[in-house]
Amino acid sequence: MIQVENLTKRYAGVTAINQLNFEVAKGEIVGFLGPNGAGKSTTMKILTSYLPATSGTARIAGFDVFAQSVEARKRLGYLPENTPLYTDMRVGEYLRYRASLKGVPGSKVKQAVGDVLALCNLRDVERKIIGALSKGYRQRVGLADALVHDPELLILDEPTIGLDPNQIRQVRELIKNLGGRRTVLISTHILPEVEIMCSRVIVIHKGTIRASDTAENLLKNHRAAGRMRIEARGATNGRELLGRLPGVKEVTEERDGDYSIFQLKLDANADPCEDAMRLANEKHWNIRELMRRRPTLEDVFVELTHSDS
């Protein structure tokens, strides 16, 4: 559905993206991740024909986004980070207007708008002024706008930004339900959402792709560090002693009354729990808590994008 080859965008003295190569297959939901300034939004704007590239090619459903821009745009829906809406229009009125702009035949506009109103749970606010809606509802109107012409591909830039947890859950479920029939490329900073929604992850940093794989394989192959937390009373010299255990890279210590709280950063795949318990027994520490946290996608993300940043 998306084919990107050697895509490069340069501004005056700055290379925003450099020689990007990736593909997104039909029906995939792919997370497009990277820190601020990594090149995510630039890439998305090029894919949507909003920006021209300096060099390279990008295709949507086989159509070149530069040479065949109209055909490519017919097949995609785009939700930018700051949803542009006509806030003085009513929801239904706005969606009918947008459907006509996107080439939906007049005889099918009513059905198309009805479908996205139902899909995005907007029936209750169909007659309300957009400017009077909450942030969550406005985001859903933007998503309905992106869907109203029934595109094969959705490109979503931070679709849950500024939403409360309940609204995030609603948008997440909606996006998950779009997979299979539609292809989705989604940029977000909420990494747990990516693990739940996405079949694959692309990580971009400083304009280049650092990784492209499933979240499971990224955790396995990039060997991100894990962490362990120990709360103990009577742990004299605990920071020094714990730091000597195999697989422990770093130890920090805080106090909570009589208890020391140790946070251990571990080597990839290290599990010093038994060694820590043995040490605690030998030194007669009173353990209140000992917990090992396995690496997460966030740990992998930091590993891939923190170095030489």
What are the pLDDT digits (tens) for 292-305? 887 777 777 777 77
According to the model, what pLDDT value does residue 193 have?
Answer: 78
Least confident segment among 168-172, 206-210, 274-278: 168-172
Residues 253 and 171 in one domain: no
- Indicate if 214 and 290 belong to the same structural domain: no
* Residue where a domain stops, chosen among 199, 220, 241: 220
Q: CATH number of the domain that 135 lies in?
A: 3.40.50.300
- Residues 68-112: pLDDT tens digits? 999 999 999 999 888 889 999 999 999 999 999 999 999 999 999
Mean pLDDT of 235-255: 92
Per the domain annotation, does 182 fall within a domain? yes
95 and 173 part of one domain: yes
Co-location of 231 and 288 in the same domain:
yes
Dist. CA 49–CA 202, nearest whole Å: 21
147 within some domain: yes
Is 37 contained in some domain?
yes
Nearest Cα neighbor of 267 from 225, 239, 228 is: 225
- For residue 233, report the phi and psi dihedrals to the nearest 5 degrees: -105, 140
306 in a domain, yes or no? no
Q: Is residue 302 part of a domain?
A: no
Q: How far apart are CA 35 and CA 38, in angstroms?
A: 6
Residue where the block lists tokens 């920090």: 252
22-59 pLDDT tens trace? 999 988 999 998 888 888 889 999 999 989 999 999 99
| Domain carrying residue 262 | 225-295
Note the pLDDT of residue 309: 45
Tell me the pLDDT tens digit for each residue of 101-141: 999 999 999 999 999 999 888 999 999 999 999 888 898 89
Q: Identify whether 95 is part of a domain.
A: yes
d(CA 226, CA 61): 40
Q: What percentage of the chain carries pLDDT values higher than 90? A: 55
Give yes or no: residues 51 and 87 share one domain. Answer: yes
Mean pLDDT of the chain: 88
Query: What pLDDT sits at residue 128?
Result: 96
Q: Do 154 and 29 share a structural domain? A: yes
Residues 219 and 67: their CA atoms lie apart, in Å, by: 39
Indicate whether 89 and 234 sit together in one domain.
Answer: no
Q: In this structure, are 107 and 236 located in the same domain?
A: no
Q: How far apart are CA 201 and CA 216, in angstroms?
A: 10
Please check whether residue 303 lies inside any domain of the structure: no
Mean pLDDT of 224-249: 89
- Pairing type for strands 29-33 and 183-187 reads parallel
In a domain, 117, yes or no: yes
What number is the average pLDDT over the span 146-166? Answer: 87
Give the CATH number for residue 233: 3.30.70.1340
Q: Does residue 213 share a domain with residue 240?
A: no
Query: What is the three-state SS of the chain?
Result: CEEEEEEEEEECCEEEEEEEEEEECCCCEEEEECCCCCCHHHHHHHHCCCCCCCEEEEEECCEECCCCHHHHHHCEEEECCCCCCCCCCEHHHHHHHHHHHCCCCHHHHHHHHHHHHHHCCCHHHCCCEHHHCCHHHHHHHHHHHHHCCCCCEEEEECCCCCCCHHHHHHHHHHHHHHECCEEEEEECCCHHHHHHHCCEEEEEECCEEEEEECHHHHHHHCCCEEEEEEEEECCCCHHHHHHCCCCEEEEEEEEECCEEEEEEEEEECCCCHHHHHHHHHHHCCEEEEEEEECCCHHHHHHHHHHCCC
Same domain, 259 and 128: no
- Number of domain units in the chain: 2
- Tell which of 202, 220, 238 closes a domain: 220
CA 130 to chain centre: 26
Nearest partner of 301 among 196, 194, 173, 207, judged by Cα = 194
Q: Residue 29's beta-bridge partner residues?
A: 184
Residue 179 confidence (pLDDT) above 70:
no
Q: Which of 220, 239, 260 is the last residue of a domain?
A: 220
Q: Are residues 155 and 182 in the same domain?
A: yes
Both 163 and 244 in a single domain? no
